[in-house]
Amino acid sequence: MQILRHAIELEALKGGVLVPTMGALHAGHAALVAAARRCADAGERRRAVIVSVFVNPTQFNEKTDFERYPRTLDADAALCADAGADAVFAPEVEEIYPPGRPVWMPAGAELPPAAREPGLEDAHRPGHFAGVCAVCRRLFELARPREAVFGEKDWQQLAVVRAMAASMPEGPRIIGHPTVREEDGLAMSSRNRLLTPNHRRRAAALARALEEAGRHDVPEEAEQGGRRVLLAMRIVPEYLAVRDGSTLAPLTGKAGAAPGARVLVAARVGDVRLIDNAPWPGFRIEHSPAASARAGSAAP
Ligand code: AMP
């Protein structure tokens, strides 16, 4: 497996499958890379699997969050090699955003509508999706993948990137991969390693809140039920909301009227901000990480 530092080196790998990440990789990322491998091997010609590892400054709202984001490139490269990647692309910031070249940062109506649904990520992290779109578009332009794999763990990002890629002349097909969870249901995340042991235990309440929301088939009751689970653990959510899985707009009717709906949550546990989501209703924590990866739903 190669480690690439320069965009020009991607030229030889175009037409492959890209897995964009910010590094500090874990088993959730490994599952995405393995899915990319299967996709790249499915046709007549074996295509390349590229994992980008780039902590993207334009998508962070807080400088401290960007600075303390874990950086573990050697371990990341080993994980990618094991999972079947052909190359890790780990550029410096200047390679993605060359000095003197204006950075395309979509704003307002330039962003896919899903990025601007009130009450979700955009309300709490203004400008975050502009940064996500900027880096993804740049990576797509540089690597020219035919497909790109994203995790359902970041459901809103998946919906936004899918819409953006569809609007690009040669944008890749976006493949969503189910969330990989720890034994107690906590969605795997690079940020989990920043939790204290006490906060790590409490963080499992996010998945339990999604499970509780899944027991109700009226959105308001689901949201109240999920919140109760969090508040019992002294976690105040930034949001816990049942939404349309594609548009991310609020739901009005009961569960049966909203196929593909999701329940989405964001909360700080200690000083670590965590997000999660699940199909709604009916989500159940499967107490085996491998099983929960297989049991996810289709992407929007
Ligand atoms: P990140 O490095 O956190 O930006 O994530 C890179 C990609 O991995 C994104 O598409 C995430 O949605 C995905 N991802 C992160 N955690 C998980 C997980 N627990 N299960 C599945 N995909 C994940």
Instruction: Give tens-digit pLDDT for 35-88.
Output: 999 999 999 999 999 999 999 999 998 999 999 999 999 999 999 999 999 999
Name the 3-class secondary structure at 247. Answer: coil
Q: Residue 293: which pLDDT band, with cuts at 50, 70 and 90?
A: low
Task: Specify whether the backbone of 100 is left (phi greater than 0), alpha (psi in -120 to 50) or beta.
Answer: left
Per-residue confidence (pLDDT) for residue 288, from 0 to 100: 67
Ligand 1 near 149 CB (within 6 A): no
Q: CA–CA separation, 44 vs 38, rounded Å?
A: 12
Residue with the two structure tokens 């963080």: 203
Q: CA–CA separation, 40 vs 24, rounded Å?
A: 24
CA 288 to centroid of ligand 1, rounded, Å? 18
Ligand 1 near 180 CB (within 6 A): yes
> Mean pLDDT throughout 103-124?
94
Instruction: Give tens-digit pLDDT for 151-191.
Output: 999 999 999 999 999 999 999 999 999 999 999 999 999 99
Q: Is the dihedral of CA 209, 268, 186, 264 positive or negative?
A: positive
CA 21 to centroid of ligand 1, rounded, Å? 7
Q: Give which of 35, 61, 15 is closest to 179, Cα–Cα.
A: 35
Ligand 1 near 53 CB (within 6 A): no
Asked whether the predicted pLDDT for residue 300 surpasses 70, the reply is no
Pocket test for ligand 1, best of 54, 153, 155, 262 (most atoms within 8 A of CB): 153
Beta strands in the chain (DSSP E): 2-4, 17-21, 49-53, 87-89, 147-151, 173-177, 237-243, 262-269, 272-279
User: Is there a catalytic annotation at residue 216?
Assistant: no
CA 180 to centroid of ligand 1, rounded, Å? 9
Q: Give which of 296, 255, 294, 25 is closest to 155, Cα–Cα.
A: 296
Ligand 1 near 58 CB (within 6 A): no
Asked whether the predicted pLDDT for residue 292 surpasses 70, the reply is no
Antiparallel, parallel or unpaired: β 2-4 and 87-89: parallel
Antiparallel, parallel or unpaired: β 49-53 and 17-21: parallel
Asked whether the predicted pLDDT for residue 298 surpasses 60, the reply is no
Instruction: Give tens-digit pLDDT for 192-247.
Output: 999 999 999 999 999 999 999 999 999 999 999 999 999 999 999 999 999 999 99
Would you say 50 and 85 are in contact if contact means Cβ atoms under 8 Å apart? yes
Q: Residue 254: which pLDDT band, with cuts at 50, 70 and 90?
A: confident
Ligand 1 near 165 CB (within 6 A): no
Interacting residues of 99 by C-beta distance below 8 A, sequence separation 6+: none
Ligand 1 near 161 CB (within 6 A): no
pTM of the model: 0.95
User: 265 - beta bridge partners?
Assistant: 240, 276
Would you say 137 and 56 are in contact if contact means Cβ atoms under 8 Å apart? no
Pocket test for ligand 1, best of 25, 26, 139, 154 (most atoms within 8 A of CB): 154
Per-residue confidence (pLDDT) for residue 66, from 0 to 100: 95
> What residue spans of 171-270 are helical by DSSP H?
197-203, 205-213, 219-232
**Taking each helix axis from N to C terminus, what angle separates 205-213 and 219-232, rounded to the nearest 10 degrees?**
160
Pocket test for ligand 1, best of 18, 26, 32 (most atoms within 8 A of CB): 32
Asked whether the predicted pLDDT for residue 251 surpasses 60, the reply is yes
For 10, 21, 23, 135, the CA distances from 164, given in Å and listed in that order, are 22, 17, 23, 12
Ligand 1 near 32 CB (within 6 A): yes
